Structure 1
Amino acid sequence: MSRKYTDWELGQHTLLESMNHIAELVDDAADKELPEQARQALCLCDALEAHLDARQLVELNYFRANAWSVIRYANHRNGSNIWEWNQPEILYEIYYLRSAVRSSGFQSLDLSRQCQILVNTANILNHIGRPIEAIEHWTRAINVLPNFAMARGNLGFGLESYSHHIYDAGHQIVIFKEACSLLRSVTDKGIIWDRIDYQEIKNNMVEKAENIESNVDFRSIQHVSLTEHSLGRSLTERRYREWALDNVLFLSPLNELGAYPIAAQDILNLPDMVRPIGEPPHFIGFFNQIKQEFTSARFLCWQGIMESKNHKKHYSDKKVFLFNTLDYPAYSIFVEQVKIAFRMAYSLFDKIAFFINEYWSLGMRECSINFQSIWFKGGNRKNSPVLRDCFQNQQNLPLRGLYWLSKDFVENDRYGNIALGETMEPDAFMLRSVRNHLEHKYLKVHDDVWNYTDRSEKGLFADQWAFHLSMQELNEKTIRILKTARAGLTYLSLAVHREENIRRSQMPDKLTLPMKLPQWEQF
């Protein structure tokens, strides 16, 4: 490392000079593959952080993420350990990218920088097996700058990769077609590139589109319409389904493509499975139940949000005598519906863990199973738990996606400054506290009309027992946990599909008999 990088004294330079220096430091480390220089940049970031405003802090977290990316590439450059699941550099990289995206100063960045951060977030999420969240971030970047080439092209790459994990051939082809269109769009007039080596990248994208076209027969879907599908007979049902489509909450891979009516059905199920003769279909029954709980939570969330916004009164709230605590509380059955939806959605992750324990025959005691513990063995006061042998270097990308999804949560409840390394979700402890207050304590919701913002612990009406949220905050957090649960259910289904293929390839030739189950009908 050169002296100009090691001898920098923050107190002798302006904030702008220091920020520019850190940016140069990280860029140089990336170009020359210098992980120690990237660590030096991280130290400077830590020293500078307390002096920055919201906008500058977004940039700083972007630099931090890029520095961790340099370290990650250095540690895994030869590709021999690309399937190593436990890579702490990834956790830090995603944590800082998310911190940047969610900061109040993010919108003040220039549009190109916003897109760069969103695309980087999407790329690393896709790398670890979480394409659903990646697609969301690429799409956000396109919404910011529709002609941003790296968002369009990488979304095309991501959809193409996602298609390979889907076991429904019809869905595969529809998604392949959208991927092909996006990859070819990087040659459109007015496209915006932010890379010096854009010509090589553009050629790779076009080559991938040509490869898709030469291997996929699109004639089978030439009469398939994405839009000519009913959303229901009643206006209420249509509004519900439109809301679910807009929020990407249907259990259908096609919802990733947009709010198309063709995706307004919860078609996702478990793939074909080879099981011992005489074994009851308990995996299917369990997945049915998880799926039903998700869709019920989704509806409760929608109904609670819509009726609360309309200030609709319900007869069940009639003659319920409550005191006004003068901090603008919101009480109604519809508020409680949203709370119930949050609790139901949050509970699904431990149920996914129970499924993993049974399907992969991990042998954990039921009382020890949760979405964080399921991946590890051992661990005590002296030694940290280690990743289970059956998951070490396992080439099952959706399953690895579930592992990294568990990093969005924490087992213990601690609301405050996060301990970096425990989770890659900046809001993990807050979400855990919301859940625990709903389950065991006291969550108070405040009316948005009065713009409740006073969170101080002092004052006559400061309620220190409660966890305080505005109605809008509760709605947003519930939708967010529903989206995460949807991703978890999708990855679980795709992980089972991948595992079934692995098991079949290792299975000696034996006679298997199909078992057909009828569809459960209510309508």
Structure 2
Amino acid sequence: MIELGVQQLNALAELADVLLLDGNRKHELIEFFKVHSETQFTFENDLCKGYFYYILGNCSSELYKYQNENWYSQDLINTVNLYQKSVYYLKKSNTERNLLSSGLTNLGNFLSSQGRCFCAQYYWDQAIEIDENPVAIIAKAQSLLFIGNYLYDDSHTRIHYFFANKLAREAMKNLDKLELEQKIPLQENGELYVFNKWFEQNYQNDDFKFVEEYKQKFKTKTEGRYLSWTAENKLFINDLNDVCIEEIVFQDVIGLPSILQKINTSLSFKETLVFHSSFDELRNEYAYARYLIFQASEIKEESSHFYNMTYSHTDDTLHAIDNLKTSHMKSAFRILYSIFDKISYFVVKYLDLPIGDHDISFNKIFGSNKNGIFKPRAELTESNNYFLHALFYILKEIERDSNSQEFFINHEKLRLAKIRNHLEHRSFRIVDDFFYRVNSELDFYNVVKYKELISRKKALDQSNSQNTKEYKDIEASILDKEKKAKYILEMPLSEFYESLMVLVKLVRNALLYLSLAVHFEENKRKGKEDKLVFNRVVPLKK
């Protein structure tokens, strides 16, 4: 097995750059990517591993582009996974911050190209925080213009334009840090150049002072802390929360646009608003799960509560934390995961997809896997709805996909599916961070004993001693060990909280994509309606 260090990876990166820049060497780039993704390597450290995935992510993003591939292409999903693995290991190493910034930027760019505009901003923001990466600044500015074009609230569109212009002006100060190709949006006739001139002719910065000056009234201090926490973590179902955390974003304002529908006198008033009512339910369940996470964040790890003081607790040396903090976190996880199936039901009914109610699930609405190959549903094959595609890509981040090649599997994302499986069907315990390390990393004695059993079993296999009592006893011990070792999924508190925050952001973004997907479809329907179609204004409670 070949070991790769920084020196070898630098040479690999130089060769990859040559192939990437020369449009006439695509066949060589394909072969380069194929060879290095199929060869097993070892790495000196996490930095080298992250660097390796970064190089291959760049190659894959050039070979497989959303504009040229089918929206359901596995190659698009693999590219995202390569970049996410790169970012994971570069963060773990925490030594090459500039390389990490580049990895975050490229990941954001590729997600954005798939229509995942809200997911992308999370990564650009990190890159900008690291080294004010001008490429990330430009990409975020362009994304804000894209989002502004698809919003159905003109006031929000103008605010997006305001922040896009701020980013464009910031990028223009760093022109000397950019490659020739990267400067194009900022040069004369470039997208951001033209936008900047138009914006500054029509608006003044003072026109947007209300964004910072707006103040929300809180009934209690806890409410104020909750709303501030939500904004800081960018968890409001509000497109503006991706560009600011001021009090003006302290609302889950994104809902559904009015929906065109045929006149049907058999429908009651509530039935004509069934999709809006469903979206309200989704927002409510999301908001409740989000509040549970906030409550858990304010409860101390060692706290106790009377709710589970009614029975004696087993002293199993696991050091699991069974209190209100972890119970809130587990409940939030369950609720958030269940929202994906409800989104699926919404999509099926809204698009009139021919799927029976009992067959609806998040991993079935887009298509099915046949012989290890994903086949899209016929009704969606030619869909050009970016935001519907974005929901599909989120599915690919949370499902346990047995068809993916091991090299491309994003183990960090599959952790969500593993948690959910154990939480719902097996046993899942959240453990104190320190004792988790003691139990898992420092338990040398039992690990050695297990390895001795495995080694002895192999020796008996080689001597054809399978019928001996010793062999049967060893085999029974190994099976007993494996059964009980795999029964419970143990996870340190900090790791579970990190996974929970990943999940809540995915659900939040999924609700935003769902809203914009409906808006996209409604815009397509306009002009096609007949005389028996009407557009109902959505009534709101006071």
TM tier, smaller: 0.7 to 0.9
Give CA-to-partner distance per residue, 1:329-381, whole Å, 9 cap, x none.
1111221110000011011111111111100111212222221211115x55x
Q: Which residue of 2 aligns with 1:26?
A: 16
Q: Which residue of 2 aligns with 1:346?
A: 337
Give CA-to-partner distance per residue, 1:389-441, whole Å, 9 cap, x none.
332232221112112222112256x7xxx933898743343211100111111
State the Cα distance separating 1:242 from its structure 2 match. Answer: 1.4
Q: Within 2, Cα distance between the matches of 1:163 and 1:511? A: 28
Specify which of 283, 293, 296 is matched with residue 291 of structure 1. 283
Q: Within 2, Cα distance between the matches of 1:447 and 1:395? A: 47
Q: Within 1, Cα distance between the matches of 2:525 and 2:39? A: 51
Q: Which residue of 2 aligns with 1:6?
A: none
Gaps of 5+ in 1: 1-9
The one-letter amino acid paired with 2:177 is W
Q: Give secondary structure in 1 for the equivalent of 2:261.
A: coil
Q: Which residue of 2 aligns with 1:265?
A: 251
* Equivalent residues of 1:173, 1:218 under 8 A apart: no
Gaps of 5+ in 2: 450-480
Q: Give secondary structure in 1 for the equivalent of 2:262.
A: coil
Q: Which residue of 2 aligns with 1:53?
A: 45
Q: Within 1, Cα distance between the matches of 2:202 and 2:102? A: 31
Q: Which residue of 2 aligns with 1:119?
A: 105
* Equivalent residues of 2:260, 2:533 under 8 A apart: no
Specify which of 66, 69, 84 is matched with residue 98 of structure 1. 84
Q: 1:192 to 1:470 in 2, by over 3 A?
A: farther
Residue 193 (str. 1) matches residue 184 (str. 2): no
Q: 1:272 to 1:423 in 2, by over 3 A?
A: farther
Q: Which residue of 1 aligns with 2:298?
A: 306
Q: Give secondary structure in 1 for the equivalent of 2:142.
A: helix
State the Cα distance separating 1:209 from its structure 2 match. Answer: 3.0
Q: Which residue of 1 aligns with 2:519?
A: 497
Q: Within 2, Cα distance between the matches of 1:463 and 1:88? A: 34
State which structure, 1 or 2, has the greater radius of gyration over its C-alpha atoms. 2
Q: 1:345 to 1:221 in 2, by over 3 A?
A: farther
Q: Within 2, Cα distance between the matches of 1:45 and 1:384? A: 19
The one-letter amino acid paired with 1:100 is S
Q: Within 1, Cα distance between the matches of 2:379 and 2:166? A: 39
Q: CA RMSD in A?
A: 2.9
Q: Within 1, Cα distance between the matches of 2:314 and 2:41? A: 45
Q: Within 1, Cα distance between the matches of 2:228 and 2:437? A: 30
Specify which of 352, 370, 380 is matched with residue 391 of structure 1. 380
* Equivalent residues of 1:446, 1:469 under 8 A apart: yes
Q: Within 2, Cα distance between the matches of 1:518 and 1:105? A: 45
Q: 1:424 to 1:364 in 2, by over 3 A?
A: farther
Residue 447 (str. 1) matches residue 439 (str. 2): no
Q: Give secondary structure in 1 for the equivalent of 2:491.
A: strand
Q: Within 2, Cα distance between the matches of 1:213 and 1:490? A: 26
* Equivalent residues of 1:138, 1:152 under 8 A apart: yes
Q: 1:47 to 1:223 in 2, by over 3 A?
A: closer
Alignment of 1:72-111 (within 5 A): 72=64, 81=68, 84-103=70-89, 107-111=93-97
Q: Which residue of 2 aligns with 1:4?
A: none
Q: Give secondary structure in 2 for the equivalent of 1:467.
A: strand
How many residue pairs align between the two structures?
Answer: 495
Specify which of 358, 361, 365 is matched with residue 367 of structure 1. 358
Give CA-to-partner distance per residue, 1:79-133, whole Å, 9 cap, x none.
6x46x31233321211110001112655534332222111110111011011111
| Percent identity of paired positions between Structure 1 and Structure 2 | 20
State the Cα distance separating 1:245 from its structure 2 match. Answer: 0.9
Specify which of 121, 145, 153 is matched with residue 135 of structure 1. 121
The one-letter amino acid paired with 1:410 is E
Specify which of 489, 501, 526 is matched with residue 467 of structure 1. 489
Q: Which residue of 1 aligns with 2:455?
A: none
Q: Within 2, Cα distance between the matches of 1:328 and 1:157? A: 49
Which protein is richer in helix relative to its size?
Answer: 2
Q: 1:515 to 1:172 in 2, by over 3 A?
A: closer
Q: Which residue of 1 aligns with 2:323?
A: 332
Q: 1:166 to 1:215 in 2, by over 3 A?
A: farther
Q: 1:298 to 1:60 in 2, by over 3 A?
A: same
Q: Within 2, Cα distance between the matches of 1:334 and 1:322? A: 17
State the Cα distance separating 1:485 from its structure 2 match. Answer: 0.3
* Equivalent residues of 2:175, 2:183 under 8 A apart: no
Question: TM-score under structure 1 normalisation?
Answer: 0.86
State the Cα distance separating 1:303 from its structure 2 match. Answer: 0.7
Q: Which residue of 1 aligns with 2:160?
A: 175
Q: 1:399 to 1:516 in 2, by over 3 A?
A: closer
Q: Within 1, Cα distance between the matches of 2:283 and 2:95? A: 40
Q: 1:194 to 1:420 in 2, by over 3 A?
A: farther
Q: 1:194 to 1:220 in 2, by over 3 A?
A: closer
